Chain A
Amino acid sequence: MSRKKNILKVIILGDSGVGKTSLMHRYVNDKYSQQYKATIGADFLTKEVIVNDDKVATMQVWDTAGQERFQSLGVAFYRGADCCVLVYDVTNGKSFDNVKSWRDEFLVHANVSSPETFPFVILANKVDVEESKKVVSSRSAQEQAKSLGNVPLFFTSAKDSINVQDAFEEIARSALQQSQSDADAYEDDLSEAINIQLDGEPSSCNC
């Protein structure tokens, strides 16, 4: 498989209407619109990121359709993911309950090398809405995040741009780490540890 090494691949999953497309657009273009239609199939946007203050990489953020039945065809793009973002809507209890099944679904299809350590990040979206509409407490959110293996959790609003940048910085860090450990595993048998190319310079590897 010819994988471009300086790309960090991030998949956003979650129930339909929780704000996956909006989060992606908020992060990549710093824009928000109420006119995003239900996503069909899959699409991605890319953004240059600087991780840990010195490493430049391209983050590829994949947006997917939320309805379950579309997953069976659309798993091809799970391959090679470096981080998976699980999104729920704080006004929709069901979307919160489904976070775990989205994670399991991902692990089944993505064929990752070590499922125990693969990085996930949970985004509790739409925190801008009035309190009375929120049905998922932050406490139960934290409990869930903990039970899923201390998954980092962010309370975000794509609409009001709350916490989105912070969350994606964490996502980028996790993705980079994952990408490096994958690469290390791949090149373990090489006598010399090779630092992977992350600065956007022409790569020396023959991919």
Chain B
Amino acid sequence: MSQILFCKSKVFIHPTSNRSDQLPGFLLVIKESQHTQTQDAKLSWIPENDLESSFVKTLLNVESKLLTAHSVRSPHDFTVDSIYSSWSFTISISAIYSIQFKPPHPNGYWFGSCIINCKNGMNEDIPVLFFHDDICTSTIAKRKKMSKEFDPFSNEGDIYWGGDDLRTCLQSLVDLQKVDSSQCIYLVNASLDDLRNFSLNNFQRPQSGSSSKDDGNIWDSLEATRWSIMSKFADATTTASNLFGKLVKKHPIVQMIDKHSDNVYVKQLMKNPRVVEVQDEFDSAKIYLAKWAMGVKQEAERYQKEHYLDDTYKRILRNELGISNDVEISPEELNIAVQRSFPLTKQKWDSLFDSQGRLSITVHEVKDFIFHGGVENDALRSEVWLFLLGVYPWDSSLQERKELKQAMEEDYNANYKSKWIYRDVLDDSEEEEYWKDQVFRISKDVLRNDRDIPLYRHNTKDGKEDGAKNEEAPNKGDQEEEWEIKNPHLQALKNILISYNIYNPNLGYVQGMTDLLSLIYFVLQDEALSFWCFVNFMNRMERNFLRDQSGIRDQMLTLVDLCQFMLPKFAEHLKKCESADLFFCFRMLLVWFKREFEFSDVCKIWEIFWTDYYSSQFQLFFMLAILQKHSDVVVSQLTEFDDVLKYFNDLRNSMDWSDIMIRSELLFIKFQKMIEVLEREEELISKRTTSTGYNGHEIPLTSEAEDPPLHHPSLISENLKELLSKELVIQKEGPRSKDSIK
């Protein structure tokens, strides 16, 4: 049974400029059945003339029902396909490339309209749709309701019109991204390249020009969208009084605007002779005006941030990261790094899969989305992370994933969890001791893990606050809280960590592993799936926890090289502070900045690391970016080992992760280019030396070339070269013996 998700009457097409030729019709969004993907919904327009009067009635009924309902089952004898006329059309919404929503003219000079462009150049088939709001029952009803609630603006901040309803409906089905604020163009399930191209063109501004001119630009663009609202309001009241004029003029925002530009609309508004009866609606006018003013303010701020400050920020980055002529980072690269406003939405994610539930774009493209925009929310995260952590193969189908999920659940319970739940006491007393010690350590760390997060906060059976506890026997309650895990989510963490001990007996439990698991479980909230995600995450992170610390040491040595290579002055200063070993980075590296940022920020950081988009060791560039960001302060202010350590430890909860991530990306690009340049030089030298007599022989270490290279090739250590690889660096713990270090 198909579902009607959207129905709007009095949507016209205007085949000619002649008013009598205008055809009214119904605009519908229909989904075949509940089970078909939302992406497969279809958009149809049917002229009223082609419908029997009973159908018109039915559809009007559907239209009014949809004012409150999310969807309505379509009448059983109704199919769009059976209706044919020369103007009707039906398209799959995923076949739409872009939609331009043009709001109606505030004075009613034109109707609001939609221009739909399709992906495969079938544009001629789709006429422009005009929303005759003044005679459309659902639009009128909604407008009435809104004016009662004093909320005349749609969610975009503009005056509500019929097209808004279509946009809202489509937004729930597909990924709709606004790419051009003045033209109101939206792209449907757009590729990141398209989004970038559109926004790039949009954001480009002339480089020259005084600041006062810039201000003018801001207000010019605001003028079109906002002042129209104001004049609309004045017109709507169709009254004349100086009171309203004064009211407008007295408003602080209007005064501010007045200072900025001689706006014709303000003047017109003041002179408007028709503002008399407004006294009746004085109060509503005030609220109206306040909301409008707030809208203007927000818009102005947003505009500044996107257009003006964005440029400032880019300038800062160029200066601070030393982007010079030596190693050029192109404006495109800079823009891609800075522009992070297109997150992976649920709609977008769904659109990436075909009818079998198989990914229909390349993994690289998906990762590009995640790397540069992140995942929109935790609900979607719980799906995406299974792919990112390799629990679900990228090329699997929906059915395969279902089976996999079930198999993994069984595997976890049968082969890991029940192994320790139903275990016998070991004959070897030392081994028994070891096991008990492991469980003890795990319990201890789980109990003190992220207790500030609501999910883990209350140690009660249902994980909720125990109201009775405070009243009776508080001491006893406290005591028990300390020793016993009751919160089901903390219990799940413990179960997973003990099971992991069975899975990887060589490594055992090491402090910090709870931190790694905590976030995964928080997002998934499924014990078995979290276990497998954790197993795969640990595959990459095991090197951080080895008994001899070789894995974490390797990373710190690589970081030392990287720091030397990219921030030589800073590295030099650290030597003077006895901090050249970068020990103060230990905590950040060990648990991937989990202790330095808010929980929600760590989710965003980790999913970016997991993409391996540039490097499988991107965490080192993130670390480098933190060092870079603070290098000036450290060099000018700090001279002692303990001061440096304290300074970096105290950065906890004070860093803007997004700024650091942008810097990380740019630092990587710069690094990559520097390596390329050096390798080319190296090659050149070796060629030159071989052609001048060393042909076929070993090249001497000291080059006899006339112009020695600026940098010595040996600067590129193996560690540094490895940073360009996307292959995971895996280091496993060896077998455990009785006297192995804990």
Q: Which of A35-43, A115-123, A167-175, A192-200 contacts B (4 or more CB under 8 A)?
A: A35-43
Residue B611 lies at the interface, judged by CB distance under 8 Å to chain A: no
CB of B721 closer than 8 Å to a CB of A: no
- Mark interface residues in B162-181 (1 if CB within 8 Å of A CB, else 0): 00000000000000000000
Known: A37-B595, A67-B511. A76 touches B583 (CB 8 A): yes
- Tell me which of A36, A72, A129 contacts B549 (CB under 8 A): A72
Interface contact A74-B583, CB-CB below 8 Å: yes
Q: Which residues of A contact B553 (CB under 8 A)?
A: 73
Q: Which residues of A sit under 8 angstroms from B669, Cβ to Cβ? A: none
Q: Give bound CA distance, A17 to B741, whole Å.
A: 17
CA distance A77 to B641 in the complex (A): 9
Q: How far is the CB of A184 from chain B (nearest CB, A)?
A: 23
CB distance from A91 to the nearest CB of B (A): 9
Q: Please encode chain B, from 487 to 528, with 1 for each CB lying within 8 Å of some chain A CB and 0 for all others.
A: 000000000000000000000001110110000000000000
B741 touches A69 (CB 8 A): yes
**Residues of A108-148 contacting chain B, CB below 8 A:** 129-130
> In the complex, which residues of chain A have a beta carbon less than 8 angstroms from the beta carbon of B689?
none
Q: Interface 1/0s, chain B 447-470, versus A by CB < 8 A?
A: 011111000000000000000000
Q: Closest CB of chain A to B579's CB: distance in Å?
A: 9
Which of A2, A16, A36 contacts B441, CB < 8 Å? A16
Query: Is the beta-carbon distance between B437 and A94 smaller than 8 angstroms?
Result: yes
The proximity string for B residues 528-556 relative to A, scoring 1 for CB distances below 8 Å and 0 otherwise, is: 00000000000000000111110011000
* A2-B640, A66-B511, A69-B742 known; A37 vs B450 contact (CB < 8 Å): yes
- Does B646 contact A68, Cβ atoms closer than 8 Å? no
Q: A37-B448, A69-B742, A94-B437 are in contact. Are A76 and B641 (CB under 8 A)?
A: yes
Q: Looking at the complex, which one of A17, A35, A42, A130 makes contact with B452 (CB distance below 8 Å)?
A: A35
Q: Contact residue range for chain A? A: 20 to 34
**B639 contacts across to A, CB distance below 8 A:** 2
Contact status A70-B437, CB under 8 Å: no
The answer to whether residues A69 and B595 also contact, given A37-B448, A44-B642 and a CB cut-off of 8 A, is no
B581 at the interface (CB under 8 A from A): yes
- Give the Cβ gap from A57 to chain B, nearest Cβ, in Å: 15
B481: chain A residues at CB < 8 Å are 34
Assess whether A44 is in contact with B646, with CB atoms less than 8 Å apart.
yes
Q: Which residue of A lies closest to B449 (CB)?
A: A37
Decide: A40 near B595, CB < 8 A? Known: A16-B441, A35-B452, A73-B553. yes
| Complex interface: chain A residues within 8 A of B482 (CB) | 34
Q: Is A59's CB within 8 Å of the partner chain B?
A: no
Binary per-residue interface labels of chain B (546-588) against chain A in the complex, 1 for a CB within 8 Å, 0 otherwise: 1111001100000000000000000000000010010110110
Closest to B742 in A: A68
* Bound: A74/B549 CA distance, A: 10
Judged by DSSP, the binding face of A is: loop
B339 within 8 A of A: no
Quick one: given A69-B549, A70-B549, A73-B549, are A38 and B479 in contact (CB under 8 Å)? no
Contact call B549/A35, Cβ cutoff below 8 A: no
Residue of A whose beta carbon sits closest to that of B483? A133
Q: Is the CB of A38 within 8 A of B512?
A: yes
Is residue B391 within 8 Å, beta carbon to beta carbon, of the partner chain? no
Closest Cβ of chain A: how far from B641's Cβ, in Å?
7
Interface residues as binary, B578-602 with A (CB distance below 8 Å gives 1, 0 otherwise): 1001011011001100010000000
Known: A40-B512, A73-B583. A17 touches B640 (CB 8 A): no
Task: For residue A46, give the distance in angstroms from its CB to the closest CB of chain B.
Answer: 9
CB contacts (< 8 Å) of B586 on chain A: these are 40-42, 73-74
| A72 & B590 in contact (Cβ 8 Å cutoff) | no
Give the Cβ gap from B316 to chain A, nearest Cβ, in Å.
Answer: 30
How would residues 633 to 675 of chain B score, 1 for a CB under 8 Å from any chain A CB and 0 otherwise? 0000001111001100100000000000000000000000000
Given A34-B448, A41-B590, A94-B437 in contact, is the A72-B548 Cβ separation under 8 Å?
A: yes
User: Most B CB atoms within 10 A — which of A34, A41, A129?
Assistant: A41
Name the residue on A nearest B639 (C-beta).
Answer: A2
Contacts of A73 in B (CB 8 A): 549, 552-553, 583, 586
Question: Contacts of A74 on B, CB cut-off 8 Å?
Answer: 583, 586
Instruction: Tell me the chain B residues, 338-383 only, with Cβ under 8 Å from chain A.
Output: none
| Nearest CB of A to B178, in Å | 42
Interfacial chain B residues near A69, Cβ < 8 Å: 510, 545-549, 741-742
| B401 within 8 A of partner (CB) | no
Contacting pair A4 B640 (CB below 8 A): yes
Who on chain B is nearest to A46 by CB?
Answer: B646
Closest Cβ of chain A: how far from B511's Cβ, in Å?
5
B515 proximity list for chain A (CB < 8 A): 37, 40
Contact of A65 with B by CB under 8 A: yes
Option from A16, A43, A60, A77 in Cβ contact (under 8 Å) with B444: A16
Is residue B445 contacting chain A, with contact meaning CB distance below 8 A? yes
Chain A residues contacting B512 (CB-CB under 8 Å) are 38, 40
CB distance from B619 to the nearest CB of A (A): 15
Per-residue B-contact encoding for A1-29, CB less than 8 Å = 1, 0 else: 11010000000000011000000000000
Across-interface contacts of A65 in B (CB, < 8 A): 511
* Complex: chain B residue closest to A4, CB-CB: B640
Cβ–Cβ < 8 Å partners of B742 in chain A: 67-69
Q: Is the CB of A40 within 8 A of B583?
A: no
Contact A35 B448, CB 8 Å, known A60-B642, A67-B511: yes
**A35, B549: Cα distance in complex, Å:** 27
Q: List 29 A-B contacts (CB under 8 A).
A: A1-B578, A16-B445, A16-B511, A17-B441, A17-B448, A35-B451, A37-B595, A38-B448, A38-B514, A40-B511, A41-B586, A42-B583, A42-B586, A44-B642, A44-B645, A68-B742, A69-B545, A69-B546, A69-B547, A69-B548, A70-B549, A72-B548, A73-B549, A73-B552, A74-B586, A76-B641, A77-B583, A77-B641, A94-B437
Where the two chains meet, the residues of A that have a C-beta atom closer than 8 Å to any C-beta of B are 1-2, 4, 16-17, 34-38, 40-44, 60, 65-70, 72-74, 76-77, 94, 129-130
B→A interface (CB under 8 Å): 437, 441, 444-445, 448-452, 479, 481-482, 510-512, 514-515, 545-549, 552-553, 578, 581, 583-584, 586-587, 590-591, 595, 639-642, 645-646, 649, 741-742
